[in-house]
A and B are shown apart, each in its own frame.
Chain A
C-alpha cells in the first residue's frame, strides 16, 4: 500500500481519536491490537481475507478486543478491517503512533521483547532512550516471541539490537 494511503488512514484515525479526547491512550490500545495481529498468523489471515464479508471480519475484531480496549479503539480497529485494510493495520497504527508522538513533540520507539516489560522497565528504558537520543520518546512495546530474549528497539531508521535472536543468528553464521 502506498505511503499516502497509510498516511490518510493515520490522519483519519488521529482525528477520531483526538475527538474522543485521548489520542495517546487509543493509539496505545491500537498498537497492542496491531502487534497481536502481526504475531498471530491465523488472526492476520482472517482479518486480511477479502473473501470474508466485512461484517464478519469486524465481528472478529470486536470479539478479540471485547473488554480489552476502549470503545473508540475497537471502533477504529473495526473501521480499518472493515475497509479491507486488515493486512496493513500494523503500518497504519505505526503511522498513527508517529503522528500522535509528533503532535506532542515526541518520537516513537518500537520495542520488541519476548516477554512484556514491566512499567518500571518501560520507564527506565524510556529514560535511557531519551538520554541516548536526546529526544522525547514514546515507547511502544510489542511482545514478539521471535526475539527469544532481550530487546530490539527501533527509533525511525535506528535499530538498537540486544536480542538473543540476533546473537543466535550471529553464532549460526560463525558456524557456517
Chain B
C-alpha cells in the first residue's frame, strides 16, 4: 500500500499529498465500518453455520458409528448364534449318523444271523435230500437185485405153485 500510495515520492513514507492520506483513511474506515456492520455478522453466521454443520456431521458420524457398533455387535451375536446353530446341526447330524450306523449294524447283524439260519436250514434240507436220494437209490438197487433173484428162482414149478396158491386163497375167501 505504501508503495502504490507513493505515486510521487516526497522522500517520506507518506504520499506527497497529505489529503490523500486523509481521504484514504476515511475511505478505509468507511469500508471497515461497512464490513463490521454488514460483513462480520455474515461471516459470523457463516462460521456458526459451518460449526453447526460440522457438529451435526460429527453427531451424525457418531450416530453412524454407534449404529455400526450396534450392528457389529448384532453381527457378532448373529455369528455367535450361527456358530451355535452350526454346532447344533452338527451335533444332530452326528447323533443321526450314530443312530443310522447303529441301525445298519443291527440290521447287518440280523441279516448275518438270518443268513446263518437260512444256510443251516438249507444245509439240513440238502442233507435230508441227499439221505432221501441215497435211501431211494439203495431201495432201487435192492429192489432190482431182489427182483433179479426172485425172477431167477421163479422156475416153472414155482410159477405153478404160486398160481395154485393164489387159486386156493381165492377159493377160500
Which A positions have Cβ atoms within 8 angstroms of B? 113-115, 117-118, 121, 124-125, 127-129, 131-132, 148-151, 153, 160, 162, 164, 168, 171-172, 175-176
Contact = CB atoms under 8 A, between A and B. Distances in A.
B162 A164 contact: yes
Contacts of A176: 135-136, 139
Given A168-B143, A171-B146, A149 B159 contact: yes
B112 interface: no
A62 B166 CA distance: 36
B150 A125 contact: no
B150 A117 contact: no
Given A117-B163, A121-B164, A149-B158, A168 B150 contact: yes
A124 B158 CA distance: 18
Nearest to B156: A115
B143 A162 contact: no
A115 B159 contact: yes
Given A124-B171, A132-B170, A148-B154, A113 B163 contact: yes
Contacts of A127: 171
B151 interface: yes
9 contacts: A131-B171, A132-B170, A148-B150, A149-B154, A151-B162, A160-B170, A162-B166, A172-B139, A175-B142
Interface string B151-173: 10010101110111111111101
B167 A124 contact: yes
Interface residues of B, number: 27
The 8 closest A-B pairs by CB, nearest first: A175-B139, A128-B171, A162-B166, A172-B143, A128-B170, A151-B166, A150-B162, A176-B139
Contacts of A121: 160, 163-164, 167
B147 interface: yes
A153 B159 CA distance: 16
Interface string B97-121: 0000000000000000000000000
A114 B150 CA distance: 13
Contact of B154 (A114, A117, A172): A114
Contacts of A113: 159, 163
Given A114-B159, A168-B150, A175-B135, 20 more contacts: A115-B160, A115-B163, A117-B163, A121-B163, A121-B164, A124-B167, A125-B163, A125-B167, A127-B171, A128-B167, A132-B173, A148-B147, A149-B151, A151-B162, A151-B163, A160-B170, A168-B143, A168-B146, A175-B139, A175-B143
A129 B170 contact: yes
A55 to B, nearest CB: 40
Contacts of B162: 149-151, 162, 164
A168 B144 CA distance: 9
A153 B170 contact: yes
Contact of A148 (B151, B156, B167): B151
A162 B169 CA distance: 9
Nearest to A162: B166
